[in-house]
Amino acid sequence: MKRGSSGHQPRVAVVGAGAFGGWTALHLRRAGAEVTLLDTWGPGNSRASSGDETRVIRSIYGPDVIYVGLVRRAFDLWREFERERELQLYRRTGALWMFDADDAYARASLPAIAAAGLRVDALDPAEAASRFPQIDLDGIERVYYEHEAGYLLARRACEAVVDAFVEAGGEYRQLAATPGRIESGAMAPLVLADGSRLEADRYVYCCGPWLGTLFADSLPGVVRATRQEIYYFGTPPDDRRFEEGALPVWVDMSAGSFYYGIPGSERRGFKVGDDEPGAEFDPTRGERIPSANGIEAARRYLARRFPALARAPLVEARVCQYELSPDRNYILDRHPQAANAWLAGGGSGHGFKLGPAIGALAADCVLERTAPPREFTLARVASAAG
């Protein structure tokens, strides 16, 4: 290993200060590396996938049980970080999962969730209807209540992680970085937007939806950015039934859908999203104006499942993007042509919650203390994309 200027620790440059990059930089710094973290527009900026107000944290993950263990670790690390920083970023609301007769997605996770010490109860739909009369459970045959689930204050967490990183002695710079050329199995220093070069022993690219275009030549198809809309509907005056405290986070997987939402919180309204990936999107130049069709579809959904909100006004909306890997598993691996370069991303609509855990894993990989899990390797992406 090439040594840094201290003579002991590697110099690492991390590009991107979203959920993946911020946490990776913090863990690397805490492990003793000399770390420079770069971001074009700053942590949790409006274009970043981590830039919305809130993100759900949950452990029901279908058959992809690798995530259950990571969620367990993430819960612990979020709580530890909150204690250290004297901040509240995680809100434990619980999550209500709604299915028609097909609840295989929940059932597949239950043994791993129990083994991880997390709690999910199956609820009788009639019991769920009496506990949450503000939801119309028509067509719902299976209901689960996940106790530790909730939501995280996303963009604020990104800022807090970078603050912690800087306090730990890391260097943060708001600059765009271009990967150096790959020659003889290694990547040359980064070229920064101010014209300077940044040389490090390892480069870690945590560029979210930009990963696809940054590595379009050497890793085609690794990440695709898709347009996603999120709506915040205004709850009625003097009606607290749709706010935190009265309603948990909810996920509706009935009839092949994956609608989800967060009860009114942070004075931002009742949040509704559809997990179905949208059209290709340019995260740099794309206009972020919500579509009339998307708003209409969300209203139709509300009218069916949350009838009292059928006429609720839209009070805010976000146009964001997923950074989709071909199989929607994360990417954490060394660049196949450059031994000194790593990629971490591909959160695919579910990456925020795991920031602390994936950052810890990424730091261990970059420091060669462990190898990435097979599910996150680039080799599996190449076979899925092909």
Ligand X SMILES: Cc1cc2nc3c(=O)[nH]c(=O)nc-3n(C[C@H](O)[C@H](O)[C@H](O)COP(=O)(O)OP(=O)(O)OC[C@H]3O[C@@H](n4cnc5c(N)ncnc54)[C@H](O)[C@@H]3O)c2cc1C
From CA 199, how far away is CA 13, in angstroms rounded?
8
Q: ∠46-52-55 over CA atoms, to 5°?
A: 155
| 198, β-bridge pairs | 190
Closer by beta carbon to ligand X, 146 or else 323:
323
Site string for ligand X, 30-49 (x = CB under 6 A): --------xxxx---x--xx
The interface region with ligand X, picked from 10-18, 103-111, 285-293, 376-384 by CB under 6 A, is 10-18
Q: Which of residues 146-185 bind ligand X (CB under 6 A)?
A: 176-177
CB of 39 to ligand X, least distance (A): 4
The interface region with ligand X, picked from 103-111, 115-123, 202-210, 367-375 by CB under 6 A, is 202-210
Closer by beta carbon to ligand X, 59 or else 235:
59
CB of 114 to ligand X, least distance (A): 21
**Does 212 help bind ligand X (rule: CB under 6 A)?**
no
Helices (H), 31-136: 66-85, 104-115, 125-131
Q: Which of 28, 200, 206, 253 binds ligand X (CB under 6 A)?
A: 206
Exposed / middle / buried, residue 303 (Cβ in 10 Å: 0-12, 13-18, 19+): middle
Among 335, 330, 327, CA closest to 66? 330
Size of the site for ligand X (CB under 6 A): 38
Query: How far are the Cα atoms of 68, 181, 377, 381 from residue 336, in angstroms, in the given order?
Result: 28, 14, 10, 12
Q: How many CB atoms lie within 10 A of CB 114?
A: 12
Among 154, 157, 153, 150, CA closest to 57? 150
Contact between 118 and 59 under an 8 Å Cβ cutoff? The reply is yes
**Does 349 help bind ligand X (rule: CB under 6 A)?**
yes
Q: Which of 21, 248, 263, 294 binds ligand X (CB under 6 A)?
A: 21
Q: Which of 11, 28, 35, 50 binds ligand X (CB under 6 A)?
A: 50
Among 289, 237, 294, CA closest to 264? 237
Contact between 108 and 63 under an 8 Å Cβ cutoff? The reply is yes
Closer by beta carbon to ligand X, 94 or else 345:
345
CB of 207 to ligand X, least distance (A): 4
From CA 146, how far away is CA 149, in angstroms rounded?
6
CB of 244 to ligand X, least distance (A): 15
Q: Which of residues 297-336 bind ligand X (CB under 6 A)?
A: 320-323
CB of 205 to ligand X, least distance (A): 8
Closer by beta carbon to ligand X, 10 or else 208:
208
CB of 126 to ligand X, least distance (A): 29
Among 77, 97, 75, CA closest to 85? 77
Handedness of CA 67, 117, 53, 63 (dihedral sign): positive
The interface region with ligand X, picked from 50-58, 159-167, 194-202, 263-271 by CB under 6 A, is 50-58
CB of 152 to ligand X, least distance (A): 8
Q: How many CB atoms lie within 10 A of CB 130?
A: 9
Closer by beta carbon to ligand X, 94 or else 347:
347
CB of 55 to ligand X, least distance (A): 4
Q: How many CB atoms lie within 10 A of CB 304?
A: 14
Closer by beta carbon to ligand X, 173 or else 308:
173
Closer by beta carbon to ligand X, 176 or else 308:
176
Q: Which of 14, 56, 68, 143 binds ligand X (CB under 6 A)?
A: 56
CB of 42 to ligand X, least distance (A): 7
**Does 353 help bind ligand X (rule: CB under 6 A)?**
yes
First vs last C-alpha separation in the chain: 34
Contact between 334 and 341 under an 8 Å Cβ cutoff? The reply is yes
Q: Which of 10, 18, 261, 294 binds ligand X (CB under 6 A)?
A: 18
Q: Which residues bind ligand X (CB under 6 A)?
A: 15-21, 38-41, 45, 48-50, 55-56, 176-177, 206-210, 228, 230, 273, 320-323, 345, 347, 349-353
